[in-house]
């Protein structure tokens, strides 16, 4: 039955939903829960296809948006049985209408905000009262730019309220403990690693496995813990012996500065030490997990000519760090032992992004979707991200707490060195022996 009690956001009669960035399990649980919340309250919901790609090119004469070609006005039948389905019903894309906005001052530049204005005009012309943005930290940044752009409109102009729902299998988001899709991705890739572990046991070999995760190590650590890997290395671990200083030139100021970079030689030696330690314990197999973000910490000679996407990111899968490291480890192992060893490499990630969603991700995604309705209609919020805490209790975080007001950028959440989660992974992996010690009571790897 339609609700009769008035709410603060009763002016939100037509909401838009878009999904941007990489797919994530439970995307459809989020979309369907949000859409159903509005439909059951006698409000309309419009799903925009492929993120901002159509909205940013909108023109009232030459490029109007058409139903069922650029967007869909949802009906109840579109959402039946959608919660547990794979994929993204409205599609996704990495288009970035805020690409040219690099500072607060750029928001006052009509040329640099042209695509943001196109998005705003499209929403207004389609009578959208509020936009639900679903995506990662880059999409959060875009949502904030669209919010800030509207703050600079003349008084009395229509405002489209903006709320954002955090999405990434990387789980590197400030403002929420776990993002939807993370546990499904961990589960899928951990099962793959268990298969590779069985192969390694059968062939007395090693697999070096590179997982998705962009800049932070949450995904690689989760996969290593659940997949019983013998070693995990993420960006957070590039310190001390794995680190090398490199002098670079700042592209803005032209000044030289020193940066910490990953030492491939040290990392290869670390893996060889692991193999030799396990051999002394009678273990002639193993799996090593690398976070793909390590590739961004390679010396500049590896990265200088690589293409980047609309958000400035390198396509890390093209580097194939695992393959490169496997070759180095093989050579160093043979040099140190005068023996050959089977060391293969695998990249994991894409197969997990549209996997059958884990039950927890379905619950989390559904709550976030409903949270979008509650934020807009019950709380009448604008410029907020929907989050959960504890037992899926909803909370709403202002954009200003998540986005740097000067740079207009979001901040990646890394695994804190020495945290209990970090220590969990370190405790479960094989500890490398500095010397052989077979004395009674010595800890042995299970």
pLDDT digits (tens, 9 = 90+) for 238-287: 988 898 888 776 666 667 778 888 899 999 999 999 999 999 999 999 99
Q: What are phi and psi of 291, to 5 degrees?
A: -80, 135
Q: CA 251 to CA 386: how far, in whole Å? A: 36
3-class state of residue 145 by DSSP = helix
Instruction: Tell me what pLDDT residue 159 has.
Output: 95
Q: Can you give the residue ranges of every domain in the chain?
A: 14-168+357-401, 182-354+415-428
Tens of pLDDT, residue by residue over 126-154, are 999 999 999 999 999 999 999 999 999 99
The first and second tokens of residue 81, run together, are 């049985």
Residue 446 vs residue 359, higher pLDDT: 359
182-354+415-428 belongs to which CATH class?
alpha beta
Q: Of 53-62, 167-176, 251-260, where does mean pLDDT reach its minimum?
A: 251-260
Residue 439 vs residue 136, higher pLDDT: 136
Instruction: Tell me what pLDDT residue 319 has.
Output: 76
Instruction: Tell me what pLDDT residue 130 has.
Output: 98
The first and second tokens of residue 197, run together, are 């572990």
Is the four-CA dihedral 384, 385, 388, 389 of positive or negative sign?
negative
Q: Which residues, in sequence order, are bridge partners of residue 249? A: 256
Instruction: Tell me what pLDDT residue 436 has.
Output: 43
What pTM did the predictor assign? 0.88
Q: CA 234 to CA 213: how far, in whole Å? A: 9
Burial readout 396-425 (b: 16 or more C-beta within 10 A, e: otherwise): bbebeebbeeeebebeebbbeeeeeebeeb
Domain 14-168+357-401: CATH architecture, name and number where available: 3-Layer(aba) Sandwich (3.40)
Tens of pLDDT, residue by residue over 276-325, are 999 999 999 999 999 999 988 887 666 555 555 554 555 555 678 999 99
Determine contact, residues 310/141, Cβ cutoff 8 Å. no
Determine contact, residues 165/372, Cβ cutoff 8 Å. yes
Tens of pLDDT, residue by residue over 214-239, are 789 999 999 999 999 999 999 999 98
pLDDT band at 437 (very low <50, low <70, confident <90, very high): very low
- The pLDDT of 398-417, averaged and rounded, is 92
Residue 255 vs residue 82, higher pLDDT: 82
Please give the DSSP secondary-structure letter assigned to residue 294: G
Q: CA 134 to CA 51: how far, in whole Å? A: 9
Instruction: Tell me what pLDDT residue 214 has.
Output: 78
Residue 400 vs residue 313, higher pLDDT: 400
Q: CA 235 to CA 415: how far, in whole Å? A: 9
Average pLDDT, the chain: 90
Fold matches, 14-168+357-401 and 182-354+415-428: yes
| Overall size of the chain counted in residues | 446
Residue 155 has a CB neighbour count (10 Å cut-off) of 4
Q: CA 446 to CA 440: how far, in whole Å? A: 16
Q: CA 43 to CA 6: how far, in whole Å? A: 13
- The pLDDT of 410-425, averaged and rounded, is 94
Cα separations in angstroms, 35 against 6, 14, 73, 80, 360: 19, 11, 10, 11, 20
Instruction: Tell me what pLDDT residue 442 has.
Output: 43
- E-state strands within 293-411: 343-348, 384-389, 393-398
Determine contact, residues 176/170, Cβ cutoff 8 Å. no
């Amino acid at each position: 039955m339609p609700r009769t009690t008035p709410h603060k956001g009763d002016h939100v009669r037509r909401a838009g939903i878009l999904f941007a960035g990489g797919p994530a399990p439970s995307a459809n649980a989020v979309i369907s829960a949000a859409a159903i919340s509005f439909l059951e309250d006698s409000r309309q919901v419009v799903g925009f296809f492929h993120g901002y790609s159509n909205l940013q090119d909108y023109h009232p004469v030459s490029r109007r948006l058409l139903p069922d070609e650029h967007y869909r006005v949802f009906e109840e039948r579109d959402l039946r049985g959608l919660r547990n389905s794979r994929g993204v019903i409205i599609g996704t894309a990495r288009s970035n209408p805020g690409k040219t906005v690099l500072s607060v001052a750029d928001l006052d530049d009509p040329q640099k905000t042209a695509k943001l204005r196109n998005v705003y005009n499209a929403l207004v012309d389609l009578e959208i009262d509020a936009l639900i943005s679903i995506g990662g930290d880059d999409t959060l940044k875009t949502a904030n730019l669209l919010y800030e752009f509207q703050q600079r409109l003349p008084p009395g102009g229509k405002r489209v309220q903006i709320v954002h729902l955090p999405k990434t299998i990387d789980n590197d988001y400030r403002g929420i403990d776990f993002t939807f899709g993370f546990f499904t991705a961990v589960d899928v890739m951990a099962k793959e690693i268990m298969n590779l572990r069985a192969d390694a046991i059968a062939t007395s070999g090693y697999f070096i496995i590179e997982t998705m995760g962009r800049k932070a190590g949450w995904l690689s650590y989760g996969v290593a813990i659940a997949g019983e890997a013998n070693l995990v290395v993420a960006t957070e671990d590039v310190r001390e012996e794995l680190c090398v200083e490199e002098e670079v030139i700042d592209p803005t100021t032209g000044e030289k500065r020193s940066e910490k970079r990953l030492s491939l030689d040290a990392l290869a030696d670390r893996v060889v030490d692991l193999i030799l330690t396990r051999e002394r314990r009678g273990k002639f197999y193993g799996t090593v997990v690398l976070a793909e973000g390590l590739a961004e910490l390679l010396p500049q000679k590896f990265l200088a000519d690589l293409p980047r996407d609309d958000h400035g990111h390198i396509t890390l899968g093209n580097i194939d760090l695992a393959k490169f490291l496997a070759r180095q480890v093989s050579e160093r192992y043979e040099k140190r032992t005068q023996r050959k060893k089977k060391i293969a490499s695998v990249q994991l990630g894409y197969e997990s992004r549209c996997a059958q969603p884990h039950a927890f991700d379905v619950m989390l995604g559904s709550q976030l979707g409903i949270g979008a309705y509650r934020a807009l209609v019950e709380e009448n919020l604008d410029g907020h991200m929907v989050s959960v805490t504890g037992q899926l209790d909803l909370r709403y975080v202002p954009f200003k707490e998540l986005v740097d007001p000067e740079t207009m950028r979001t901040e990646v959440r890394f695994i804190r060195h020495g945290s209990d989660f970090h220590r969990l992974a370190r405790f479960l992996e094989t500890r490398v022996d500095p010397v052989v010690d077979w004395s009674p009571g010595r800890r042995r790897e299970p």
